[in-house]
Amino acid sequence: MAVQPTTLSPSTETRRRTPARRSFAPSTAAWIQGIFLVVMALISLVPLLAIFVGTFQDGNEVIRRGMTFDVDLGSLSLDNYVLLFTDSGPYFRWFANTLLLTIAQVAGTLLVSSFVAYGFAMYEFRTKTLWFIMVLLVMTVPFEMLMLPLYVQINDMGLADTYTVIVLPFLAAAVTIFFFRQYFLGIPKEIIEAGRVDGVSEFGIFFRLVLPITKPAMAAMAILNGMLCWNNFLWPLLVLRSPEKFTLPIGLNTLLTPYGNNYELLIIGAFFSLIPILILFLAFQRFFIEGITAGAVKG
């Protein structure tokens, strides 16, 4: 029996010959999203640009008129920069104090909090759930409620007016522990078992096998904890008494007194205090989004 050739209907044949139309919807949506993000970025940069322009103006003029881009170009000068680098008093000592404290606190917080979170995620022990619930409860308690009893305690221990009391209470940060625990839950436990079979110690497993995987999480927490420590004002103000030990936020606040205000140094000093945070973010930005996303969805 002869097979009859398949005959296409005119409409079907027309559709096959006509090239498929490209969908421009995703491309248009991407352009709109990109434009929106650029506009939002420019808006967020306006305060930074305003304070940068203010560093070239007279401090009293800035306070009287406010931060504005409507300035007389002829009135701009480098006097504030000369003041900062020649007659700024203890400004750079405050800057160095804050930088060292931030580095020490971020490094200690990442190490201690990751240890605690690693235990919650990778080990099984009695009362594990109870202890983790306590960590979650600590996250709900404002630090302002803990300041007074903590201040009394450090006075009884003789640790007032030392850098130890600024760093020590924040090494085991509840938010950082929770974040790391969620991230560690996404790491296969077969990696740990393989390390134990090969005779690697528990610390070796953490530092040689687990830690390299957690670079995005470490970078994200380094940025967040670094910003909190760099801008920390209330607790250092409460425990530090010696002017030479002041941090940058406290030191800048001392420039405003009932006897006179050093607005020039305050403005340019505040602008230069932004530089370390910008460097920190730029150094770890490629890990930041990945770490935040992974820590939020794993577990």
For residue 154, give its domain range.
90-297
**Residue with the two structure tokens 């409460």:** 238
Residue 14 lies in a domain: no
Per-residue pLDDT at 41 exceeds 90: no
pLDDT digit string, tens, across residues 162-180: 998 999 888 989 999 999 9
Residue 22 lies in a domain: no
219 in Cβ contact with 111 (< 8 Å): no
Residue 43 and residue 131 in one domain: no
Same domain, 68 and 101: no
Give the whole-angstrom CA distance, residue 55 versus residue 265: 9
Domain count, the chain: 2
Q: What is the per-residue pLDDT across 253-286, written as a single tens digit (0 to 9) for each?
A: 888 876 667 888 888 888 888 888 888 888 777 7
Q: What three-state secondary structure class fits 261?
A: strand
- Please check whether residues 47 and 187 belong to one and the same domain: no
Say if residue 295's pLDDT is above 50: no
Q: In terms of domains, do 73 and 150 share one?
A: no
Confidence at 69, pLDDT banded by 50, 70, 90? confident
CATH number, residue 286: 1.10.3720.10
**Alpha helices (runs of H) in the chain, residue ranges in sequence order:** 10-17, 25-54, 59-65, 79-86, 91-122, 128-139, 143-156, 164-167, 174-184, 189-197, 202-204, 215-230, 234-239, 248-253, 263-272, 275-297
The pLDDT-based confidence of 292 (bands split at 50, 70, 90) is: low
134 and 276 in a single domain? The answer is yes
End-to-end CA distance of the chain: 65
77, 109, 138 - which closes a domain: 77
Tens of pLDDT along 217-256? Answer: 888 899 889 999 999 999 999 999 888 899 999 998 888 8
Q: Are residues 53 and 110 in the same domain?
A: no
Shared domain for 183 and 37, answered yes or no, is no
Q: End of a domain among 77, 110, 140?
A: 77
Q: Which residue has the higher pLDDT, 162 or 15?
A: 162
- Mean pLDDT of the chain, nearest integer: 82
Q: Give the pLDDT confidence score for residue 294 in this predicted structure.
A: 54
Same domain, 61 and 138: no
